[in-house]
């Protein structure tokens, strides 16, 4: 469900749907507009924000309903995740069916899920008064928080399934390489968020060169230069694509080191890295079609999942 949430969040961003609901109602917000007057009220609220006035002026009510759907689904899915987790957690906890060492982990997961909802609203709120979209910093924070919760649950689940390591001593030399790879994947994923937040996929739609050069002339041109990676779309895309190529290189090197071990997580990681690179390049060359861009975001989570699995299997 969290994986699906990340995908829905990507669609919400790509379809510019994230600011279509301008209020945060954790309880009553479950019910969508039911009549024409309700829809008109929601539309009037949207018409008051800069995104409508500067970007979508003239949008019809029917078009508004289209973007409202994705933001509503995104918020509803978040509430469903909370229910699916909290209800059985409370039930099994009260019946004494959860081992004591696991309880703090499950409670932390539930608390993090609640904080993620608040962080989501904090992100949306940044685009309601002055900006025509949300803050890219808050967007990346929201994305990384989702990945962190997903990773926490996945790691604990793997530990429950395989409490003792089945890996032999021969896999241990791979650990430093795996940790480095995991770190680079996360940084690459974060810069993917900055590219999305800055609409960086709409510039320099060529590969491998950018404007016929390895380093485009307008990269790092912002003042001060240290803010350019986070606030300039060209610089963000430049960093993201080179980080992505570094990931592919590290994965291939890891696969070559581990190939004689026939280690399934790393075999799958190698295949996924090549597929993810193909998705990223295709998304760029075709100027960010929504289906490809969503597949690329989902592929990033799959790649991260395989890296985590490999780390867990060699612990």
What CA–CA distance (Å, rounded) separates 165 from 171?
Answer: 11
Q: Give the mean pLDDT of 120-124.
A: 96
- Give the DSSP H/E element, type plus range, for residue 103: helix 103-125
Q: Are both 196 and 311 inside the same structural domain? A: yes
Q: Are both 222 and 112 inside the same structural domain? A: no
| pTM for this entry | 0.94
213 phi, psi to nearest 5 deg = -130, 155
Kindly tell me the sign of the dihedral angle through the C-alpha atoms of 87, 90, 94, 100.
Answer: positive
Compute CA 251 distance to the chain's CA centroid, rounded to the nearest angstrom: 21
Q: Are both 5 and 150 inside the same structural domain? A: yes
What CA–CA distance (Å, rounded) separates 104 from 9?
Answer: 28
210 phi, psi to nearest 5 deg = -115, 105
Q: Structural domain tally of the chain?
A: 2
Q: Strand pairing partners for 213?
A: 210
Q: Are both 99 and 224 inside the same structural domain? A: no
Q: Among residues 103, 138, 163, which one ends one of the domains?
A: 163
209 phi, psi to nearest 5 deg = -90, 160
pLDDT of residue 173: 87
Q: Give the mean pLDDT of 180-206.
A: 97
Q: Nearest 5 degrees, angle CA 25-CA 36-CA 83?
A: 30
pLDDT of residue 84: 97
Q: Are both 153 and 172 inside the same structural domain? A: no
The closest of 253, 245, 273, 246 to 173, measured between CA atoms, is 253
Domain with 70, as residue range(s), is 1-163
pLDDT of residue 167: 54
Q: Are both 1 and 121 inside the same structural domain? A: yes
What CA–CA distance (Å, rounded) separates 22 from 49?
Answer: 8
Instruction: Map residue 210 onto helix, strand or coil.
Output: strand
Q: Are both 42 and 156 inside the same structural domain? A: yes
Q: Are both 91 and 187 inside the same structural domain? A: no
pLDDT digits (tens, 9 = 90+) for 264-283: 999 999 999 999 999 999 99
Q: Are both 123 and 243 inside the same structural domain? A: no
- Residue 245: which pLDDT band, with cuts at 50, 70 and 90? very high
Q: Strand pairing partners for 210?
A: 213
What CA–CA distance (Å, rounded) separates 143 from 186?
Answer: 11
pLDDT of residue 223: 76
Asked if 133 contacts 67 with a C-beta cutoff of 8 angstroms, the reply is no
Long-range contacts at 250-253 (CB < 8 A, ≥ 24 apart): 250/177, 250/180, 250/181, 250/184, 251/181, 253/177
| Mean pLDDT value across the chain | 94
Q: Which tokens belong to 153?
A: 């649950």
Q: Among residues 163, 190, 221, which one ends one of the domains?
A: 163
The closest of 111, 186, 121 to 149, measured between CA atoms, is 111
pLDDT digits (tens, 9 = 90+) for 58-81: 999 999 999 999 999 999 999 999
Tokens 């404007």, located at residue: 211
Q: Are both 61 and 125 inside the same structural domain? A: yes
Q: Among residues 140, 163, 186, which one ends one of the domains?
A: 163
For 219, other C-beta atoms within 10 Å of its C-beta total 21
pLDDT digits (tens, 9 = 90+) for 128-145: 999 999 999 999 999 999
What CA–CA distance (Å, rounded) separates 264 from 81?
Answer: 30
Q: Are both 136 and 18 inside the same structural domain? A: yes
């Amino acid at each position: 469900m969290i994986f699906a949430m990340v995908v829905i969040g990507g669609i919400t961003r790509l379809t510019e749907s994230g600011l279509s609901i301008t209020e945060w109602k954790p309880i009553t917000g479950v019910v969508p507009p039911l009549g024409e007057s309700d829809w008109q009220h929601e539309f009037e609220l949207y018409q008051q924000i800069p995104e409508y006035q500067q970007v979508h002026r003239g949008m019809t009510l029917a078009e508004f309903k289209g973007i409202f759907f994705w933001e509503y689904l995104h918020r509803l899915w978040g509430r469903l995740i909370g229910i699916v987790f909290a209800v059985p957690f409370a039930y099994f906890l009260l019946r004494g069916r959860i081992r004591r060492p696991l309880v703090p982990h499950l409670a932390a997961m539930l608390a993090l899920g609640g904080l993620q909802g608040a962080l989501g609203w904090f992100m949306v709120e940044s685009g309601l008064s002055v900006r025509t979209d949300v803050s890219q910093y808050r967007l990346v924070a929201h994305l990384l928080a989702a990945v962190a919760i997903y990773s926490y649950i996945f790691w604990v689940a793997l530990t429950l399934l395989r409490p003792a390591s089945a890996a032999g001593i021969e896999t241990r030399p791979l650990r430093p390489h795996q940790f480095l790879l995991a770190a680079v994947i996360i940084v690459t994923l974060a810069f993917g968020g900055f590219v999305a937040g800055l609409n960086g996929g709409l510039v320099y739609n060529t590969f491998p060169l950018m404007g016929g050069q390895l380093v485009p002339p307008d990269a790092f041109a912002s003042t001060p230069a240290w803010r350019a990676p986070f606030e300039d779309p060209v610089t963000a895309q430049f960093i993201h694509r080179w980080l992505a190529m570094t990931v592919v290189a590290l994965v291939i090197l890891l696969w070559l080191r581990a190939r004689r071990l026939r280690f399934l997580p790393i075999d799958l990681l190698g295949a996924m890295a090549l597929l993810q690179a193909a998705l990223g390049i295709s998304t760029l060359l075709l100027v960010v079609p929504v289906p490809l861009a969503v597949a690329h975001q989902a592929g990033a989570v799959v790649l991260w999942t395989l890296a985590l699995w490999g780390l867990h299997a060699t612990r």
